[in-house]
Amino acid sequence: MAPMGIRLSPLGMAVFCLLGLGVLYHLYSGFLAGRFAFFMLSEPAAGGPEIPHGSAPAGAVDLRELLAVSVLAAVRGGEEVKRVREGNVLNAKAKGKTREGAEEQLTSGDLLSNRRMFYLLKGAFPAVQINSEERVDTADQETISWDRSIPEDIKQKIQPKEVPAESVTVWIDPLDATQEYTENLRQYVTTMVCVAVNGKPVIGVIHKPFSAYTAWAMVDGGSNVKARSSYNEKNPRIIVSRSHAGKVEQVAKQTFGNKTAIIPAGGAGYKVLSLLDVAEKNQEEADVYIHVTYIKKWDICAGNAVLRALGGHMTTLTGEEISYTGSDGNEGGLIASINMNHKALIEKLPDLEKTSHK
């Protein structure tokens, strides 16, 4: 019985229930319609328009976009390197010794370039692992945005290609050839970015800050640089680190003869560019690049990717491929070439591998 003796009409109860059901139906049908519309917008039908630029699915990385921001990062880092050197405010200090006992230098150019490059890449692709030569100080953290624009030359040569974010490792060298940088040997200095997918280098960017020259390439994609038209296999010009010239010269001349030229130079990026067709007045030319000791992966990853994209090779001295996962060092030295019989080079220079352990 209703309270206070009020009796409820059966007809009124029925009308009230019908009104309630109508309200529920209206709300629920609106919800379903919204979900259906969301599904249709999120899943375009086969043959429909492409997903708009910059809207790759979560967990995926577009390598064309990553190439574009890598080029920008190398250039922005190079601006810091150039500014510090021209202002003569290097604030150089020793950060340790190499395995060979040489002092490793650290300058303001290294640190400022590193900060600019790291945070630009991290802001654009936060899910991607980034390995850098210099430590990233959280106290210096800054937000650097990327407008997601892609340069026309990259648009014309590279198609979008998505890969899982967890398969990507980015290696950045904010200032290659720091020793030469402190000595004002500017032609050797580069800033570099490399993208490895499942440990294989697929994108390489090498930028020369003091001449504003940038080489980039993507494996199975395209590049803005190419190999030279000819190389000398009988008496190759071999480019090496300035401190390794003596070690390599003896073995090379025993193998190829006394006419073999040894070119001492600084910076791994510079040495790779010496193998390519580079319109730079301060860029020497070589046929083979050799390094006989331990070397860090951020020094060589970008060059490795560029050579692979152009059909060249960079391996350990025994011919093994270099993996860009795990530790940050490569123990087996390296030999790099393009448009040459790489396997034959390794077979001709077996003593170099022994030299690398001395």
User: What sections of the chain are H helices per DSSP?
Assistant: 10-42, 63-87, 108-124, 152-157, 178-182, 245-256, 268-273, 297-309, 342-348, 350-355
pLDDT digit string, tens, across residues 223-252: 999 999 999 998 999 999 998 888 888 888
pLDDT of residue 301: 98
**For the residues 300-317, what does the mean pLDDT come to?**
98
Verify that 220 and 94 share a domain, yes or no: yes
Verify that 141 and 265 share a domain, yes or no: no
The answer to whether the beta carbons of residues 206 and 306 sit under 8 Å apart is: yes
Confidence category of residue 33, pLDDT binned at 50, 70, 90: very low
Side-chain half-sphere CA neighbours of 303 within 13 A? 31
Verify that 155 and 300 share a domain, yes or no: no
> Which residue type is seen at 279?
A
Q: In 10 A of CB 208, how many CB atoms?
A: 28
Verify that 233 and 348 share a domain, yes or no: yes
Verify that 122 and 187 share a domain, yes or no: yes
pLDDT of residue 76: 97
User: What sections of 257-325 are H helices per DSSP?
Assistant: 268-273, 297-309
pLDDT of residue 56: 56
Verify that 158 and 240 share a domain, yes or no: no
Q: Does residue 48 belong to any structural domain of this protein?
A: no
Whether 260 shows a pLDDT value over 60: the answer reads yes
CA 225 to the chain's CA centroid: 16
Verify that 314 and 190 share a domain, yes or no: no
pLDDT of residue 318: 94
Verify that 323 and 184 share a domain, yes or no: no
List of residues 6+ apart from 226 with CB closer than 8 A: 276, 277, 310
Residue 277 marked as a ligand binder: no
Residue 331 marked as a ligand binder: no
- Please say if 178 is a catalytic residue: yes
- Average pLDDT value for the chain: 85
Q: Does residue 113 belong to any structural domain of this protein?
A: yes
Verify that 197 and 247 share a domain, yes or no: no
Q: Which of 211, 199, 204, 215 is nearest to 173 (CA)?
A: 204
Q: In 10 A of CB 7, how many CB atoms?
A: 7
- Please say if 287 is a catalytic residue: no
Verify that 248 and 298 share a domain, yes or no: yes
* Helices H / strands E in the chain, number of each: 10, 17
Whether 74 shows a pLDDT value over 80: the answer reads yes
Q: Which of 338, 333, 322 is nearest to 355 (CA)?
A: 333
Q: Does residue 30 belong to any structural domain of this protein?
A: no
Verify that 64 and 189 share a domain, yes or no: yes
The Cα–Cα gap between 173 and 175 comes to 6
DSSP 328: S
Active-site entry in 169, 178, 214, 355: 178
Whether 27 shows a pLDDT value over 60: the answer reads no
Distances (CA, A) of 140 to 51, 119, 136, 143, 358: 36, 10, 8, 10, 41
Residue 66 marked as a ligand binder: no
**For the residues 210-235, what does the mean pLDDT come to?**
96
Which residue range forms the structural domain that includes residue 143? Answer: 60-224
Q: Does residue 38 belong to any structural domain of this protein?
A: no
The Cα–Cα gap between 123 and 60 comes to 15
189, 206, 224 - which closes a domain? 224
Record the pTM: 0.82
Q: Does residue 26 belong to any structural domain of this protein?
A: no
**For the residues 144-155, what does the mean pLDDT come to?**
92
Q: Which of 349, 355, 326 is nearest to 337 (CA)?
A: 349
Q: Does residue 182 belong to any structural domain of this protein?
A: yes
Whether 38 shows a pLDDT value over 80: the answer reads no
Residue 299 marked as a ligand binder: yes
pLDDT digit string, tens, across residues 163-200: 999 999 999 999 999 999 999 999 999 999 999 999 99
224, 244, 273 - which closes a domain? 224
The Cα–Cα gap between 299 and 175 comes to 9
Q: Does residue 14 belong to any structural domain of this protein?
A: no
Q: Does residue 17 belong to any structural domain of this protein?
A: no
Say how many domains are in the chain: 2
Residue 140 marked as a ligand binder: no
Whether 47 shows a pLDDT value over 50: the answer reads no
- N residues, the chain: 358
pLDDT of residue 52: 39
224, 245, 271 - which closes a domain? 224
Whether 40 shows a pLDDT value over 60: the answer reads no
Whether 137 shows a pLDDT value over 90: the answer reads no
Verify that 191 and 270 share a domain, yes or no: no
pLDDT of residue 333: 93
Side-chain half-sphere CA neighbours of 40 within 13 A? 6
The answer to whether the beta carbons of residues 44 and 51 sit under 8 Å apart is: yes
Active-site entry in 62, 107, 110, 293: 110
Rg (CA), the chain: 29
